[in-house]
Amino acid sequence: MNNQHILQVSELTKKVRFILESELNSVWLCGEISNFIAASSGHWYLSLKDSKSQVRCAMFKGNNRRVRITPSNGQQVLVRAKVSLYEPRGDFQLIIEQMEDAGEGLLRQKYEQLKSKLEAEGLFSLQHKQTLPAHVQCVGIVTSPTGAAIKDILSVLKRRNSSIKAIIYPALVQGEHAANDISQAIAVANQRNECDLLIVGRGGGSLEDLWCFNEEQVVRAIFASKLPIVSAVGHEIDTTLADYTADLRAPTPSAAAELISQDGDILREKVQVLQQRLSHLIQRTLKDRHSNLSALQHRLAQVHPSQQLQIKQQRTDELTLRLTQAIHNNLQQFSQKPQQLSAHLLHLSPAKKVSALQEHVEQSKQRIINATTRNYQQKSKQFLHLIEELQIVSPLATIARGYSVTRNSKGEVVKQCDQVTIGDEITIQVSDGKISANVTATNEEKA
């Protein structure tokens, strides 16, 4: 426990939120709305559930403004959301970024996936677009022969240019078999080759109604067509994959008829508009390409061999200067080294040490002589002083004044008569020698 960092609750929720948001990112989720609340702040709070689980969700007003449906409890929806954690309560939740009706949402997701696939294959590329004939004499129409679209097209053609011949290639434009019908009608028109171009389309409707024009079969049939095709599906706000693939997109079937039946003035006006659009597109493309070119040139300049060579040359020059300076410094150090070694050797030379030692010996010798002389003089003075003191107390001095010292046979100084007996040999010391004698009498005997 002492070696582990103990987390605060807020630290734990912050770490869990970071892991969830960094690892899972965005997810697509289909579920039923429950507990829906539209807060006064403009945010939406709800739960998404299925038969086994549910999860809390929040959709902020910046995102829910783009939702085209009105959410309600019990409604099946498809959402794109980020996985997150509401830190104050530690609740797992989803932050919804996009919401659609489940059926339409799945179709739209399928639409986007197929669009990305076909775009990657180049089916929408401008280089594959065919130019519409300047003067249309016969137009083929692939649509339902009983729908409103065919009536609108024929009415416009009659009003604007009745000389244009129209051939109807009937096809279902809604339902399970519509895609196959449309593809076959386009193939038949190309096989007959009896018209200048084709109008493929129908009137407006929901995404499900128009779905056949998003089928891959129809898109590839339009792409493979040798006849130029004008796509006229739905209303102006409706955009299908057929519109991207066709050589020209018309916002409505009536507009398609007007586009192919224009008179000279309108045609020139249209050409001017297209010219402006093309010029704008070219300018924008050139600007983008110029920006890309500048970026590539900058990147190329960074990796170009000449640039790299210049960098390497500069680096070589720097290293050469550093090497020259280092060699110069080393030469200076090496040139000074013999002098330093000579001085150091001279400092460590035995002759110098011997000379110093000899001088030290001489100084020590002189100090010893001086000390010995001083000590001798001091001792001599002390000796003379002691002699003088000894002379003062010496028995010899007393003897010299006429006294004598008597010793018995044991060498003891005779101080009293009882120390000797008659017949003892004694020695008498006088100033100029010694006298040997025998004791013949003592004062005690005379008494």
Average pLDDT, integer, range 58-67: 88
Give the bridge partners for 47, in sequence order: 34, 56
**What is the structure's pLDDT at 310?**
63
**What is the structure's pLDDT at 413?**
83
Closest Cα partner for 45 from 30, 64, 26?
Answer: 64
| % the chain with pLDDT above 70 | 91
Pairing between β-strand 425-430 and β-strand 54-59 as defined by DSSP bridges: unpaired
Using the predicted structure, report yes or no on whether residue 2 has a pLDDT greater than 70: no
Highest mean pLDDT among 121-125, 316-320, 386-390: 121-125
Average pLDDT, integer, range 82-111: 79
Spatial contact of 79 and 94, defined as CB atoms under 8 Å apart? yes
Mean pLDDT value across the chain: 83
Residue listed under structure tokens 């001086």? 370
Q: How confident is the model at residue 29 (pLDDT cuts 50, 70, 90)?
A: confident
Using the predicted structure, report yes or no on whether residue 226 has a pLDDT greater than 90: yes
DSSP string, 274-307: HHHHHHHHHHHHHHHHHHHHHHHHHHHHHH-HHH
- CA 142/CA 136 separation, integer angstroms: 16
Per residue in 152-173, pLDDT (tens digit) is: 999 998 888 888 999 999 999 8
Write the CA distances from 177 to 115, 167, 184, integer angstroms: 21, 22, 11
Spatial contact of 79 and 96, defined as CB atoms under 8 Å apart? yes
More confident residue, 89 or 249: 249
Per residue in 34-61, pLDDT (tens digit) is: 889 999 988 999 999 888 888 899 999 8
Closest Cα partner for 213 from 111, 123, 112?
Answer: 111
For the ranges 64-68, 197-201, 366-370, which has the lowest average pLDDT?
64-68
Per residue in 104-157, pLDDT (tens digit) is: 656 677 778 888 888 888 888 888 899 888 888 899 999 999 888 899 999 998
Using the predicted structure, report yes or no on whether residue 385 has a pLDDT greater than 50: yes
Per residue in 266-278, pLDDT (tens digit) is: 655 776 888 888 8
Q: Is 129 strand, coil or helix? A: coil
- CA 417/CA 447 separation, integer angstroms: 13
Token pair for 294: 């500048």
Q: How confident is the model at residue 103 (pLDDT cuts 50, 70, 90)?
A: low
- CA 235/CA 5 separation, integer angstroms: 64
More confident residue, 4 or 247: 247
Beta strands in 259-382 (DSSP E): none
Average pLDDT, integer, range 16-34: 79
- CA 184/CA 190 separation, integer angstroms: 10
Per residue in 260-317, pLDDT (tens digit) is: 886 645 655 776 888 888 888 888 888 888 888 877 776 666 566 765 676 677 778 7
**What is the structure's pLDDT at 288?**
84
Per residue in 406-444, pLDDT (tens digit) is: 888 888 888 888 888 888 888 888 878 888 888 888 775
How far does Cα 58 stand from its chain's mean position? 32
**What is the structure's pLDDT at 388?**
81
Cα-trace Rg, the chain:
65
Closest Cα partner for 151 from 198, 186, 197, 202?
Answer: 202
pTM metric for this prediction: 0.42
